[in-house]
Amino acid sequence: MKDALNFMALNAKLGDGGIYKSGVNCYLYFSSTSLDLLSYKREMCKKAGLKPSDFEFGTSGYGGKKKVYNFRTRNSEKITPFKYMDTKDAIDLIDKESLILWYLDDGSLHKRKKFVHLYCNTLTEDEVQYLIDKIYQLYPYKKCALRWDRKKDGRKYPYIYMSAVTARYFLKDVAEFIDNNDIPSMSYKAAI
């Protein structure tokens, strides 16, 4: 069994969630429109010895039509070091399962051409390049590339392009992860 605390703290730091300070220590916060994905994360928090709240829900900020579920853990001194961890140090801890969970939060699959995008808006360009190197260590087929999502108002956000060559192996692992952890709502992200 992997270190559940590292697994969930990394996901909160890099994926759809956050690590927030409250008082002396910090807590993890997670949100998703997928209740089965969030249920998996909640169970992993329990395995890490953290105390998660019950689910709450609101509506999506993207049109306000979808329910967004969320939960948080209680504050814990075990979480606090992750809040202040350097992003590159966090990237060093990523394994295949951590990358898959991040992709389930912030990734997309181009179904016709079979390539993958991983959105990493909070990372600097240098950190994205560091992540690209890490992904290549995990999937040494064809190196990913940095791309930019450019908005009409001039803002731009980095994302990673994973070619179909690398995505073939990655998506096989994604499908297995989804199946092994009973997260059927995410199966569209592994349609290979």
* Residues 67, 101 within the same domain: no
* Residues 112, 150 within the same domain: yes
* Residues 144, 122 within the same domain: yes
- The residue range of the domain holding 47 is 4-83
* Residues 74, 42 within the same domain: yes
* Residues 51, 129 within the same domain: no
Could you tell me the CATH number of the domain that includes residue 150? 3.10.28.10
* Residues 105, 177 within the same domain: yes
What's residue 62's pLDDT? 61
* Residues 100, 48 within the same domain: no
Closest CA to 134 of 93, 176, 174: 93
Phi/psi region, residue 63 (left: phi>0; alpha: psi -120 to 50; beta: rest), is left
Q: Which residues contact 112 (CB under 8 A, 6 or more apart)?
A: none
Closest CA to 87 of 28, 134, 52: 134
Residue by residue, pLDDT tens for the chain (192 residues) are 369 999 999 999 998 899 999 999 999 999 999 999 999 999 999 999 999 999 998 876 666 677 899 999 999 999 999 999 999 999 999 999 999 999 999 999 998 899 999 999 999 999 999 999 999 999 999 999 999 999 999 999 999 999 999 999 999 999 999 999 999 999 999 985
Write down the pTM of the prediction. Answer: 0.93
88/68 Cα distance (integer angstroms):
29
* Residues 126, 37 within the same domain: no
What's residue 63's pLDDT? 62
Sequence letter at residue 65: K
3-state SS class at 7? helix
Structure-derived torsion over alpha carbons of residues 145, 138, 179, 115, reported in degrees to the nearest 10: 20
Residue 154 burial by Cβ neighbours in a 10 Å radius (0-12, 13-18, 19+): exposed
Last residue of a domain, one of 13, 48, 83: 83
- Domain count for the chain, please give it: 2
What's residue 67's pLDDT? 86
* Residues 94, 186 within the same domain: yes
* Residues 9, 58 within the same domain: yes
21/89 Cα distance (integer angstroms):
20
Closest CA to 130 of 167, 92, 76, 157: 92
Last residue of a domain, one of 83, 100, 115: 83
